[in-house]
Structure 1
Amino acid sequence: MEKNCPSCNSEFTGNYCSNCGEKQMLPHERTMRYYIGRVINSITFAESKMLNTFWTIIRKPGTVTNDFSKGRRIVYSSPIGLFFIGNLIYFLIPFLETFNTTLNVHTTMMPYSAFANKQVNKKIEQREVSLEEYEKSFNAATNSNAKLMLIIMVFLVCFGLAIICRKQDKFFGDYFILSLEINIYNLFVNTILLGLLLYPIVYLFAFLGVDLEPYLNDKIITIVILISLSIFLFAAIKKAIQVSNLSAALRCLMMLVWIGISLQTYRFLLFLITYLTV
């Protein structure tokens, strides 16, 4: 039986319009039961793909990038979507401040501290406020900005990968996916998971009167994160770029240096944006 397509008005038989592809809406597709089923199916399907993407990144670094470059994408969700979910979780947990940098750190411990000091002094004079007052408002703003600006690290790491891990058969999109893998791992494991594990331990021992500073200070935590990231980087580069162990190790070392430079660049941009908005 021929029908008229509601979208293009062409005549067609069957369930799909041969001209524009519009599907004929059947009576059961307009019921509440149908829509509830679609919602449940969409959620479970998306969740299944997202979990598969997450576990593949964690357990088999570089595999998602390698598969994407070969066109095998159907079993994965979008890595950029997974990154933003991690970013949202990080944003919603107030005590996680791994990427935050206070005004004191900006003005005393960074390569650009002289510039930062000069700008801060100018603003204090213009507003006629004390350093303590300005620092309080700056630190409140920079905490949120640090979490919102994490996507910058994805692009900074991507540029490093495009230079250090350059191969003729790779495109910029491949390095972008690999950068997402690295940042997803760093965000979920080295930031969220590590923070959620350490935070209650520190407060529990503090409540019991035990000082964990000699064992869980910033230097020790930084070393733990560095080791964790190094292992992941080596495995990810070896799999995604398809190079030897020696080549992967050398590129891994260069990428660690690049990530350090990228982190300083990110902090400088964080200072500028917070300074201009506070």
Structure 2
Amino acid sequence: MNHKQCLNCEQTVSGNYCQNCGQKNNTHAITLKHFLFHDIIHGVWHLEKGILLTIKETFTRPGQAALDYINGKRVKYYNVFYLILMLIGLNVLTVHYHHKIDPSSVNKNVGDGLKFMNFLSGNVKVILLGFVPLIALNAFLVFRRLKLNLAEHFIIGGINLLGILVLCLFINLLSLLDTFQGIEYVAGILKFICFFLILLFPIWTYFNATKKRYSILGFTWRILTFYMFTIIEISIILYFIMFIVTNQTTFKLNL
């Protein structure tokens, strides 16, 4: 039923949505049938559809999907950074269950190595999200023809991290299969493939984003420079974290 006045902010409405607050003008009385078949099923379907589409686009056209989002085509996509947080949680959960099923997989480090690994696991969200600005800054310096500002490069960096986390989740799920005799060999091969794809994923993302902007040679030296910057920076950051953690008894980031 359409109303001439918005039921939320009481402003005059002339279309399907309120021009003032954005609420739909087509509202219904809440009945059990409407609640079950529209509010719940319809809402969950749209949520899952957005998530599945975002993940699909992350692997089929990551760079172009990020550029679409930057250019304003955002309704069909689920928020990349919300999805990243969900995938971090799923990865942590699968690792936890893997350790429970196979106690031999639990970290055997002692001393400084144990402190370092405990710090990484205790601050995994901060550390992983911290890769986004790092990747964004390097891409901003290297891929100038995209003509994006640093904040816009955060979106492409987020797509990069999202794809990597999905692949990490596959690796963790495959690790759960290692406990079953007879399929650990196949699981090992699939994990190696996923790990290889993780290494290559930024290449695919930026190749897709910079399509027709660079020659093959121009893209090649730029992506190699991007990888070189990223590897050096990550090495320095990990060394710094190792130094801090091993020289202080308590050091934890809060998110």
How has the CA–CA distance of structure 1 residues 42 and 205 changed in structure 2, closer, same or farther, with 3 Å as cutoff?
same
How has the CA–CA distance of structure 1 residues 25 and 168 changed in structure 2, closer, same or farther, with 3 Å as cutoff?
closer
Cα offset, 1:142, TM superposition? 3.6
In the alignment, what sits opposite 2:228? 257
Cα offset, 1:179, TM superposition? 0.8
In the alignment, what sits opposite 1:84? 85
Q: Give the Cα–Cα distance (whole angstroms) in 2 for the partners of residues 17 and 63 of structure 1.
A: 32
In the alignment, what sits opposite 2:131? 153
TM-score by length of 1: 0.64
Q: Give the Cα–Cα distance (whole angstroms) in 2 for the partners of residues 152 and 3 of structure 1.
A: 48
In the alignment, what sits opposite 1:73? 74
- Matched to 1:277, the amino acid is F
8 A contact 1:146–1:270 mirrored in 2: no
Q: Is the counterpart of residue 47 in structure 1 residue 48 in structure 2?
A: yes
Q: Deviations over 1:133-177 (max 9, x none)?
A: 786566445423235531111121111111111236322233111
- Matched to 1:163, the amino acid is L
How has the CA–CA distance of structure 1 residues 205 and 59 changed in structure 2, closer, same or farther, with 3 Å as cutoff?
same
How has the CA–CA distance of structure 1 residues 187 and 13 changed in structure 2, closer, same or farther, with 3 Å as cutoff?
closer
8 A contact 1:15–1:23 mirrored in 2: yes
In the alignment, what sits opposite 1:233? 202
Gaps of 5+ in 1: 105-131
Q: Give the Cα–Cα distance (whole angstroms) in 2 for the partners of residues 162 and 34 of structure 1.
A: 49
Q: Give the Cα–Cα distance (whole angstroms) in 2 for the partners of residues 19 and 186 of structure 1.
A: 40
8 A contact 1:158–1:176 mirrored in 2: yes
What are the equivalent positions in structure 2 for 1:185-200 lying under 5 Å apart?
A: 185-189=163-167, 191-198=168-175, 200=177
Q: Give the Cα–Cα distance (whole angstroms) in 2 for the partners of residues 141 and 268 of structure 1.
A: 13
Could you tell me the percent identity over the aligned residues? 20
Kindly tell me the number of residue pairs found equivalent between the two proteins.
Answer: 234
Q: Deviations over 1:42-92 (max 9, x none)?
A: 211011111111011112231211222332223222221221221111121
Q: Give the Cα–Cα distance (whole angstroms) in 2 for the partners of residues 18 and 184 of structure 1.
A: 34
TM-score by length of 2: 0.69
Q: Deviations over 1:216-255 (max 9, x none)?
A: 8xxx95x973x42454333321221233322222222122
What SS does the corresponding residue of 2:34 show, helix, strand or coil?
helix
In the alignment, what sits opposite 1:164? 142
How has the CA–CA distance of structure 1 residues 31 and 230 changed in structure 2, closer, same or farther, with 3 Å as cutoff?
same
In the alignment, what sits opposite 1:122? none
Q: CA RMSD in A?
A: 4.3
- Matched to 1:84, the amino acid is L
- Matched to 2:139, the amino acid is L
How has the CA–CA distance of structure 1 residues 24 and 44 changed in structure 2, closer, same or farther, with 3 Å as cutoff?
closer
Bigger radius of gyration among the two: 1
